Amino acid sequence: MSCSYMIAAEQKARSTYDNILRVVKDPDVCDPIRFLRKREIIHFQRFGEALRGLQDKLDSKNFYAFNPSFDKAADVQGGCGCQGQNGQ
């Protein structure tokens, strides 16, 4: 699952909790819903921070997509050392 789908799920849950809070007025129901809503907001913020951190490192010298010599090192050593299907 990609990060954008996780962020969308957090936002959808938050929206659901907002809708519940608009309708329900019982404090015994509202308090746990408020807690869950706050938790979704924190999750959304953390996913966003993680995504920004990854985006900042995409042009890093050590990132696989920008380091073609990574594959060459594995080829020199005879591949990745993995066995294919059926032990090949």
pLDDT computed for residue 80 by the predictor: 56
How is 15-64 classified by DSSP, letter by letter?
Answer: HHHHHHHHH---HHHHHHHHHHHHHHHHHHHHHHHHHHHHHHHTT-TTSG
- Whole-prediction pTM: 0.55
pLDDT tens-place string over residues 32-52: 999 999 998 888 888 888 888
Q: What is the mean pLDDT of the chain?
A: 75
- Mean pLDDT, rounded, for 10-35: 92
- Mean pLDDT, rounded, for 39-66: 77
Higher pLDDT, 9 or 71: 9
